[in-house]
Each structure stands twice: as structure tokens, then as C-alpha cells.
Amino acid sequence: MYAIARDRPLTKISLGLEYATISACRISLMSPELLDSVLLHTDFPELKLHASGKVRDVYTLDQDRLLFVATDRISAFDYVLATGVPHKGRVLTQISLFWFEFLRDLVPNHLLTADVSQYPAALQQYADQLRGRSMIVARAEMFPVECVVRGYISGSAWKEYKASGRVCGIELPKGLRESDRLPEPIFTPSTKAVSGHDENISFAEMSKLVGPELSGQLRDLTLAVYVKAADYALQKGIIIADTKFEFGRTARGITLADEVLTPDSSRFWPADKYAPGQAQESFDKQYVRDYLEEIRWNKRPPAPALPAEVARRTSEKYVEAYHQLTGLVLDA
């Protein structure tokens, strides 16, 4: 209970939840050192915020460059939780860096540097916050579509398929089960809807938005990148069931931007537990989802805090995913 009471306002949590959180938390506490390393918010007063997402913050550096920062925030059931996950921002950043390098012959990317000692002088005062979890990237003219590719049928695609036998206008074989591998990966673009949720669109609709030539280029790139990365990940025991890319135009041409092939932008499934015919356990967020179901959170704000043990075990899953994928050890 100490770990919660010390730095988290319990007023944000309903009474029943507070009790559940405290009782589940008796099991263990997160060490003060671990809690201190968690970054929930960034604040760089001399920079202008360019975009802020559930877990990432992007700042403007100058005309051509942005500062991209991955925090330790975690979202589940569409909300950012009150507790951060130690190392999460560093893991996601290091996974993206790994893929940028792995994919460099296939597609240009927006990375300029992740070496904090090369950042502008004005940022050196934040070096400890930025190290390992940030990148300076080339500002791109972003295309207003999400380039989604699926090798397995899950999530919104499974819902669409059950209702119509199609996904984003693509006819699929009859008799697929939830989480089945598809005969070949499919490109299922989406666009930001007013609701904040992405809305699946057909290739023809995408072509109306950004033009047929660019749509074809983005589709071909998306499929090629997915095939190369998913083949590699599978050899390492991780199924990348689907993933979402964001592309933009820079001096390098059509450029892969944002974070890439992370557990936040993809469905990672442990290959040794793959069992089609049902929803699959998530590599990284399963403890979080299980806990939130257990305490019967109504999935409306305010989002609860996590017991230290749930945050710590989730942290271990992210670090493990990084190691399993890259063979590298995240440094302490």
C-alpha cells in the first residue's frame, strides 16, 4: 500500500477500486529506484509541442527536425492508466531503432540521431530524461492514412470478417477462425475518424484520399516491410499478427516515420502459445488486462492505477520482448 499512497492521489480512484488495488498490492512493492526511473510526463518549456499521443510526445526543434519522446505511460482499453511501466519508453524506442536499421535497405526512415550527446545544446539539460527513449527525426509531410497490414485475423478485422466475409473490401476465404493465419498478408488501411478511433477503409477509398499511385506505393512498401520483419520475428518466437505504419514525405522520398513494429503499434503474440480459434494473449499487456478485468473497472475514466507487481511484471515482458527480438540486453 505504501507504494500507492506515497505518490498517487487515491482520490482519482473509486472506493471499491482502491480496496482492490491495495489488497492486490500486498504481494509486492516496486522499489523506489524503479519508480523514480518512470517518466510519465515530459515538459520542455523552451520547445513547442508538435503532437501528443497516449504514450508519445513530439516536440518541434526547428523547420526540419522534431524531437520524438516515448514515455513510460501505458494504455489499456483505450485509456492511459495512472501508473507507468518501468523501461517501457526505452524498450519501445530501442525496438524501433532495431527495425529502422534492419529495414534500411527496404525503406528510408525519419531517424536522424538517437545519440543524446549529438542533440542541440538546449536539450543537454534534459539528457537524463531523454537518453534511450528519444530520437531526433526528420520532419515529414505525413500522409493522412494509417498503413495497416495483417498476417493473422484479429481485432476489428475479425469483427468485419464475421459480419461480411470481407476486410477493407478484400474478400477472404470462408471458414476462418479468430486469430487464424491468412493465406497471405493483406493491406487494410485506415483513417482517423472523428471519434478518435481509426476507421477501416478500402484501397479505393484510400486512393481518393491520397491518389492511386501513392496508394499503390504505400501498399507495396507496407507489405514488403511486414513480410521481412514478421519472418524475422517468427524465427525469434514472436508472431507479429498485424501492425500499423505511418509514412510521410521527406527529402529521402517516401519515409517510414513514427514508431515501428513495437508491441504498441502491433499485435505481438508468443509463437509457442499460438492457438487459433480464440483471441490470443498479448505478449506485453496481458497482466494489465487481466488485472483490469479482475477489479471490474468499468472502462470509463478515471483509469485506475496498477499494483506495483502488475507494473513490474509488465515491465519484465517488455524487456523480454526486446531481448527475444534483438538478442540484445536493455542496459540498466
**Residues that bind ligand PZK in the complex, under the rule CB under 6 A:** 51-53, 56, 58, 66, 68, 110, 137-140, 142, 248, 257-258
In the complex, the smallest distance separating the C-beta of residue 57 from ligand PZK, rounded to whole angstroms, is 6
Q: Compare residues 52 and 202 and give the one whose CB is closer to ligand PZK.
A: 52
Q: Compare residues 21 and 94 and give the one whose CB is closer to ligand PZK.
A: 94
Q: Compare residues 66 and 167 and give the one whose CB is closer to ligand PZK.
A: 66
Q: What Cα–Cα distance (Å) separates residue 308 from each residue in 14, 84, 182, 268, 328?
A: 18, 10, 38, 23, 26
Cell numbers 527495425 label which residue?
99
The answer to whether 78 and 299 have CB atoms below 8 angstroms apart is yes
In the complex, the smallest distance separating the C-beta of residue 309 from ligand PZK, rounded to whole angstroms, is 29
Q: Compare residues 66 and 240 and give the one whose CB is closer to ligand PZK.
A: 66
The residues, any chain, with a CB within 8 Å of residue 133's CB and separated by 6 or more, are: 39, 69, 70, 71, 89, 90, 92, 93
Q: Compare residues 258 and 284 and give the one whose CB is closer to ligand PZK.
A: 258
Amino acid at 124: Q
DSSP output for 272-294: GG--SSSPPPPTTTHHHHHHHHH
In the complex, the smallest distance separating the C-beta of residue 189 from ligand PZK, rounded to whole angstroms, is 16
CA-based nearest residue to 152, from 187, 185, 130, 110: 185
In the complex, the smallest distance separating the C-beta of residue 173 from ligand PZK, rounded to whole angstroms, is 34
Please state, in angstroms and rounded to a whole number, the distance separating the CA atoms of residues 182 and 241. 10
Residue 200 — φ and ψ, nearest 5°? -65, 140
Q: Compare residues 242 and 258 and give the one whose CB is closer to ligand PZK.
A: 258
Q: Compare residues 60 and 326 and give the one whose CB is closer to ligand PZK.
A: 60
Residue least distant from ligand PZK (Cβ): 56
CA-based nearest residue to 29, from 287, 306, 307, 294: 307
In the complex, the smallest distance separating the C-beta of residue 200 from ligand PZK, rounded to whole angstroms, is 19
In the complex, the smallest distance separating the C-beta of residue 229 from ligand PZK, rounded to whole angstroms, is 18
The residue count for the chain: 332
DSSP output for 311-322: HHHHHHHHHHHH
Q: Compare residues 248 and 276 and give the one whose CB is closer to ligand PZK.
A: 248
Q: Which three cell numbers stand for residue 203?
A: 484501397
In the complex, the smallest distance separating the C-beta of residue 72 from ligand PZK, rounded to whole angstroms, is 14
Helix or strand (DSSP H, E) at 117: none
Cis? peptide before 86, omega within 30° of 0:
no
In the complex, the smallest distance separating the C-beta of residue 140 from ligand PZK, rounded to whole angstroms, is 4
